[in-house]
Amino acid sequence: MGCERKCARIPYEIRLSPGRYVRVRGFHRLQRRVWNELRARELNAMNGRVRPLSFVFLALSLSFQTAAVILGKIAALRLGHPTLGAFLSNPWFHGSLACLILQSVVWQLVLREVRLFVAYLVTSLTYFLVLVASRFLFLERVTILNIIGAAVIFAGVYLVLREDLA
């Protein structure tokens, strides 16, 4: 009890980034240690020291996201009458949901290791992969405008997030 009272009275500053601090009251020593470890991990990711395994996680995230879109399209094509029972009994829909769940788990691993702008640039490549899948798996027509649109999205994400490059 004595430590809780002392810690509650001592303000603690946490450095979020250069020039940005947050004052926190009541941080316990263990909480400080955990916070400092998380901050050090974030700084390692921001300093460009990315482990090779991080690229594997990025590729998995991109693959799961693309697979979820493709399986969702197959599920929609195989769906007869759109009822709740038809959705719940459709194995392609289950596969799409499984890919989305796996993508969200892998995405958390990506965000622990890679800067956010890099992760978002890579996920914007999903548009190109979906275009390729549309053409070769579903024999849909892909025009030059579709390709330009995907490139504009990728460039737009880059332009918005390029300030993080510095």
Residues 90-138: pLDDT tens digits? 999 999 999 999 999 999 999 888 878 788 888 889 999 999 999 999 9
| pLDDT tens for each residue of 46-83 | 555 567 788 899 999 999 999 999 999 999 999 888 88
pLDDT of residue 82: 83
Q: Residue 127's closest CA among 109, 153, 106?
A: 153
Residue 3 predicted with pLDDT over 60: no
Output Rg (C-alpha) for the chain, integer angstroms.
22
Query: What is the mean pLDDT of the segment spanning 80-88?
Result: 85
- In sequence order, the β-bridge partners of residue 138 are none
Residue 7: both structure tokens together:
């810690």
Highest mean pLDDT among 17-21, 24-28, 42-46, 134-138: 134-138
Q: How far apart are CA 99 and CA 104, in angstroms?
A: 9
**Model-wide pTM > 0.75:** no
| pLDDT tens for each residue of 148-163 | 999 999 898 888 777 6
Compute CA distances 95 → 45, 91, 100, 158, whole Å: 32, 6, 9, 31
CA angle 23, 26, 28 (to 5 degrees): 115
Residue type, 130: V
pLDDT of residue 2: 46
Q: Residue 6's closest CA among 30, 29, 33, 34?
A: 29
